[in-house]
Amino acid sequence: MEDSLSMILIQRIAFIAVVAYVFSQTQAFRFVYKEHTSYKEKTVLTLIFSAISIAGTYLGIPIEGAIANVRDMGSIVAGLLGGPLVGIATGLISGIHRISMGGFTALQCGIATILGGILAGYIHSKMKPKNPDWITGVITGVGVIIFSMLLILVFSKPFESAFSLVAQVIIPMSLANALGIGVFMIIVQNAKEHQTRIAALQTHRALRIANAALPYFRQGGLTAWSAQKVATTILMMTSAAAVAITDCKQVLAHAGLGNDHHCPGGPPLTAVTKSCLSSGCMMVAQTAAEIGCNHADCPLKSAVIVPLFCRDDIAGTLKIYYAAEDAMTSLDNEFAQGLGQLFSTQLELANLQQKAELATVAELNALRAQINPHFLFNALNTIVSLCRTDSEQARNLIIELSEFFRRSLKSSRDFITLQEELQQVDSYLTLEKARFGDRLSVIKKIDAKVENIQIPSFTLQPLVENAVKHGLLSRANGGTITISAEQAGSVVEIQVEDDGQGIPQEDMKQIFEHGFGKGAGVGLTNVNERLKNIYGQQYAIRIDSVEGKGTIIYVTIPLHSKDKDGVA
């Protein structure tokens, strides 16, 4: 009898395995491994495990007025996987159900089932954040069965019948429940690991796509050009039938099926896209009707539409289409949502970069327009004074002044050659030498090999002007400015040196914040910040100054720098 009972109960394990597999494919399976579950989700788990536990009762084998069953498996698995609340609720439902069926062991078995759910829930809470494994489940199941057998022996009457029942069912029921719990938890755990592997692959794919898309968004944000590049990239790297990207008003790009009527430049056609734009929430359409395309022969049957944000504002949508209905799994939806979040971050970064570039351009324009009025007035006064005594020199100075302003204000290029920059410096120094005469000497040591390297415009003239104004102007005898440039490995070293009054040591720390004293302007600070923005922190200006002896300013330009067509 015991052998046949064992075989029948063990056969029930096949049913349990099927139930476990089906459960692992449902949406409710995800609730088991969520860090925090809502009461609604706990209720769903309770109903599922209660149904499994009650089914275990009905699948039991009547014997001597009792039922040999696998009921306790449901309440124990509920507690171990779902936590205390789910375990207790499942134990109560299935335990009360067993009591309602009657029999001389009904109360004892029902109580054991309830206590099994409570115990499993307690174990779950103690093992957090780690989930209980199948070994823990087997030990718990055997313990609960033994406890229920003890209750039957102690409280069931007559004792002889209780003893006879326990002797027949204790081993088969312990074995069946233990195996059932172990099988159930192993299947669920394997399904979890499988989904984790798939999720990892999806994450890796999303990162690869985002990495491939970054250069396109970086070159202009969300535009028709960048959107088409990104949509094509996603289409090539996924199993989607089509990929589309919109802004808030029009379709920017569509790659794949349906491109005959989902045309870039037109307004979004599908109702689900309009809903996504208005709500700012991800929308999932599992049928063509839910997509809501007004084209009768549209081949797109299901889709996930994810909003794209720039900061807190909706910038557009990412739409991933499939050619079959119900083609998307929860992992596909999570993949699309993650990709949308990555793209939103990239759009925000691109927006910040554009703002930084615009700010840099504004600073450069301000620097160009900031030609010191005192310099202009002094140059004009010098020219006026020469008009009567040396009209030819006055004429030449007017030409130099016009050339200086022409180069300063007319040029729209952000990068020029070192030779062109030195011509600007020459125009400036010609005007200054007309004022200072022999008090200002200029020495240039320029390696011919570096004359054609590209440097940010308006880099050297502000440095030379600072040397004249703050280094030599206050000295009765003036001094000498030496400009040198030569290649040093993979960089070009440029130096602007004066033998003027130097910089007091206590002023060195403040120099880039406040310039060379009151009224110095932002020339040096602007040059320094632009060099750092273009080439990196390591290319900041360096200063070596000794009070009373002079100052050297070092500028380093990498030979292989970023695209010279970019913004300086």
Q: Which fold has domain 2-196?
A: Arp2/3 complex 21 kDa subunit ARPC3 (1.10.1760)
> Cβ distance 533 to 476 under 8 Å?
no
Return the C-alpha torsion angle 143, 145, 146, 152, nearest 10: 150
**Cβ atoms within 10 Å of 158's Cβ, excluding its own:** 9
Give the pLDDT confidence score for residue 568 in this predicted structure: 34
pLDDT at 350 over 90: no
Q: For 121-136, write each residue's pLDDT tens digit.
A: 999 998 887 778 889 9
Q: For 95-128, write each residue's pLDDT tens digit.
A: 999 999 988 888 999 999 999 999 999 999 988 8
Q: Which CATH superfamily is domain 219-347 in?
A: GAF domain (3.30.450.40)
Exposure string over 140-154, b if 16+ CB within 10 A, otherwise e: bbbebbebbbebbee
- Residue 308 half-sphere exposure, CB side, CA atoms within 13 Å? 24
pLDDT at 163 over 70: yes
Return the C-alpha torsion angle 151, 156, 159, 161, nearest 10: -110
Q: Which of the pair, 60 or 568, is modelled with greater confidence?
A: 60
pTM to 2 decimals?
Answer: 0.47
> How far apart are the C-alpha atoms of 523 and 537, rounded to whole Å?
18
Q: What ranges do the domains of the chain cover?
A: 2-196, 219-347, 370-558
Beta bridge partners of 481: 442, 498
Q: For 353-371, write each residue's pLDDT tens digit.
A: 666 665 666 665 555 555 5
Q: What percent of the chain has pLDDT above 70?
A: 85
Q: Given the DSSP bridges, would you call strands 550-558 and 491-498 parallel, antiparallel or unpaired? A: antiparallel
| Three-state SS at 35 | coil
First-residue to last-residue Cα distance in the chain: 90
Angstrom CA distances, 141 to 2, 85, 152, stand at: 19, 18, 17
Q: Which fold has domain 370-558?
A: Heat Shock Protein 90 (3.30.565)
